[in-house]
Amino acid sequence: MKVLVVLAAVTALCAGAAIPTVPGDNSHYVEGESRYIWMPDGEGVPRLVDLQEPVPQDDLLEARNGANNEYWLFTRQNPNNRQLLLNGNINSIRNSNYRANRPTKVIVHGWNSNGNSGMNPAITSAFLAVQDCNVIVVDWNRLANGAYTIAVNGVPSVGQFLGNFLVWLINNAGGNWNQVHLVGFSLGAHVVGNAGRQAGSRPARITGLDPAGPQWGGNSRALNRNDGQYVEAIHTDGGLLGIFDRIADADFYPNGGRNPQPGCAISTCSHSRAPDLFASSVRTNHFNGRLCSNINQATSNQCNGNALRMGNAIINKRGSGIYGLRTGSSWPF
C-alpha cells in the first residue's frame, strides 16, 4: 500500500511539472498543482508560463512599485490619439480634453500586455460610440511584461497608484465618483479591485473581465464585492486562467463560465473572450443574464430567474447574485 501511495504521489508530481506542448491547451492544468499553464498575451497569442519560476528578491521588490503607471486619455475629441495625464501635474489635465462633467471610464489590461493591446481600443471605441465620456487607459506594461509571478506581486501597487491618481484627479480637476466605472481584464481585474479599495470603494461600478485565477485563490488582494459601490465579474475560463468562484455582487457565467466558449478551441481563447463580450455589450446591451439558484445551474446553463443585463455602460446598474446566459460564437456574440 505504501508503495502505491508513493507511486501515486510521484505520478501526480510529474504530471504537475510536465511541460505542455500544444499552445493554448490547458487541459492538463490542475489548480494549485500544475507548474505550467498557457496564457494569452495582449493579442491573444498563447505564451507558456512557469508558475513556479524563481524570481530574484530584488525583482519582487521592484514589482511592488506602481509608480510607472501611465494614464492615457481618449475622448470623442481625440478618439485615437492619446493624451498623457500625469499624476500631480494639473497642467497635464487642463491641457487635455478631460471634462469633469463627463462620466469617466478606466480600462486596465492584463499580463504580457500594454495600453495598445487589442482590448483597449476595442473597449475605448465602444464606450465613445455610446457615450460622451472620458476614457482613461492604464498602461502598466513595465510590470505586466515580466514574469507572471512578478506581475502578480505588482498588482496591488499598480492598483493603489491608480486609486491615488483617481483621487487626485477628482479632487483637483473635478469629477463625480458616482460617474466612475473601472474595467479590468485578467490581472487587470485585480488591479481595478485594488484601485477601488484604495479610493475608499467610491467608484460607482467595477467590472472584472475573467479575473485571473492562477495564484489568486485565497488571495486577499483579489477583486471582491467590497471594492466599489457595485462590482460585477464576467467568468469565461473559470478554473483555468480565470477564477470560477463567485467574487462580486453580480457574477455572470456565459455558456457555463468555463472553457470552451462557443467558437473557441483552446483555453486562452475562452479567457480572452471576456473583453470581447464586454465590448459588444457596451455597444449593443443584448446579453440577458438570468438569475441562478446556485453555481451548478450556471454551469449547466439552466438558469431562468430574474433578468439582469451582462456588461454594458450603464453607470447606475445594480444587481446581485449568480447569472447564466448563452452567447454566440462570433461578433457580436
Tell me, yes or no, if 186 is annotated catalytic: yes
**Backbone angle region of 51, left / alpha / beta, with phi > 0 → left and psi within -120 to 50 → alpha:** alpha
Give the H/E segment covering residue 180. Answer: strand 180-185
Query: Closest Cα to residue 106, out of 172, 177, 174, 39?
Result: 177
3-class DSSP assignment, residue 189: helix
Task: Give the active site residue among 117, 190, 271, 272.
Answer: 271
Q: What does the angle CA 239 – CA 109 – CA 217 come to, to the nearest 5 degrees?
A: 30
Task: Give the active site residue among 186, 267, 270, 280.
Answer: 186
Q: What does the angle CA 124 – CA 195 – CA 55 come to, to the nearest 5 degrees?
A: 100
At 255, list the grid cell.
Answer: 455558456
Pair 245, 212: CB distance under 8 Å: no
In this structure, the strands spanning 180-185 and 104-108 are parallel
3-class DSSP assignment, residue 13: helix
Tell me, yes or no, if 210 is annotated catalytic: yes
DSSP state of 18: P
Specify which residues 238 forms β-bridges with.
242
CA distance 33 to 163: 34
At 137, list the grid cell.
Answer: 487607459
CA distance 277 to 261: 11
Between the two ends of the chain, the Cα-to-Cα distance in Å is: 52
Task: Give the active site residue among 41, 139, 210, 227.
Answer: 210
Q: Kindly list the strands in the beta sheet with 104-108, ordered across the sheet, starting from the edge strand earlier in the chain.
A: 78-85, 70-75, 134-139, 104-108, 180-185, 205-209, 231-234, 250-254, 321-325, 288-291, 307-309
Q: What number of CA atoms fall less than 13 Å from residue 251's CA on the CB side?
A: 27
CA distance 267 to 237: 7
Tell me, yes or no, if 286 is annotated catalytic: no
At 201, list the grid cell.
Answer: 470603494
Active site residues: 186, 210, 271
